[in-house]
Amino acid sequence: MEYVLIITIAIVIFSLIFDFINGFHDTANAIATAVSTRALTPRTAIFLAAIMNFVGALTFTGVAGTITKDIVDPFKLQNGLVVVLAAILAAIIWNLLTWYYGIPSSSSHALIGSIAGAAIAAQGFGVLHYQGFTKIIIVLIISPIIAFCVGFIMYTIVKIVFKNANLTRANRNFRFFQVFTAALQSFSHGTNDAQKSMGIITLALIVANIQDPSNVEPALWVKVACATAMGLGTAIGGWKIIKTVGGNIMKIRPANGAAADLSSALTIFVASSLHFPLSTTHVVSSSILGVGASNRAKGVKWNTAQRMIITWVITLPISAILAALIFLVMNIFL
């Protein structure tokens, strides 16, 4: 029993560390456009994002339930605590590596791939909950495409509506509007990304027989702890990724920045309401690409986009392999 308790506590601690890292790793997604257009100062933007991430994390819990039960079946998971611990460690390592090199990779891909990889190393492919896992992968694949299309359409509408507007006045108004869209996007980020650590902790509590298996709703203390960790991480900021998202994809103006923010926030809200975990990184970057393509395709720095897409593709398999290796090593000692 003491062994189970120690590993469970370790999972809780590392899950909160993951949320903290997720906060500063993905902060750029919510505020990069607002900072790059000078709608908000960096300090104000981060403060706003921290608060809205915290509120969003407490508002939705459906995504947490999906992470708890739809990747692997908690009832069939053998040596489950070691599997979960290996998964969260692998996701943290990958997040730190991509943050260090300023690459806006997906925390969601890293976590989902890590859970699957560690579980497969423990019990083989049969342990995966294929119906739920397939649904998650499909959403991860199509959500950037949807975000790109929404961004393209959104900015096309903006161009038509404001075709004859005074440019200086329009930019001033859009900068003001970006305060709202940055807050909305930060809130939506909390509704989806913070739920993943809640799901991991809930999965560990069920495996450890601490929480009733019939209840996949995160406990109140889990919600508050994860929301706080993400809020604190957001307060640290992620300037390397802000530079990539906010300037290295395309030159962002207030109008297209607001359109990109609104497009990604709407996409994330729909996914959260349907309990689908998606990559906020993918969605935000794809929205910016869609807006850029609508504005002027030649103005998009497609080489940066290509580097990002490669990272998106390799994150899930690499994190799965990394988690599998960590599990095999840990299993020798634990």
One DSSP character per residue, 108-154 reads: HHHHHHHHHHHHHHHH-GGGB-HHHHHHHHHHHHHHHHHHHHHHHHH
Average pLDDT of the chain?
Answer: 84
- Other C-beta atoms closer than 10 Å to the C-beta of 80 total 23
The more confidently predicted of residues 97 and 105 is 97
**Distant-in-sequence, close-in-space partners of 89: CB < 8 Å, separation ≥ 6:** 14, 323, 326
pLDDT at 251: 67
**Distant-in-sequence, close-in-space partners of 80: CB < 8 Å, separation ≥ 6:** 74, 203, 204, 207
pLDDT at 266: 94
pLDDT at 250: 52
Whether residue 117 contacts residue 83, with contact meaning beta carbons closer than 8 Å, is answered with no
pLDDT at 118: 94
> By three-state DSSP, how is residue 72 classified?
strand
pLDDT per position as a tens digit, 190-231 = 888 888 889 999 989 988 888 887 788 899 999 999 989 988
For the ranges 37-51, 263-277, 287-301, the maximum mean pLDDT occurs at 263-277
Closest of 112, 120, 98, 174 to residue 143, by C-alpha: 112
pLDDT at 82: 92
Distance CA 47, CA 235 (A): 6
Kindly give the interhelix angle for 280-296 and 130-161, rounded to the nearest 10 degrees: 30
Segment 100-113 mean pLDDT: 80
pLDDT above 90: residue 301: no
pLDDT per position as a tens digit, 55-74 = 988 888 788 888 888 888 77
Whether the CA torsion 270, 142, 110, 120 is positive or negative: it is: positive
pLDDT above 80: residue 274: yes
- Other C-beta atoms closer than 10 Å to the C-beta of 164 total 5
> By three-state DSSP, how is residue 37 classified?
coil
pLDDT at 156: 93
pLDDT above 50: residue 246: no
pTM attached to this predicted model: 0.85
pLDDT per position as a tens digit, 233-244 = 877 765 555 555
- Please provide the size of the chain in residues: 334
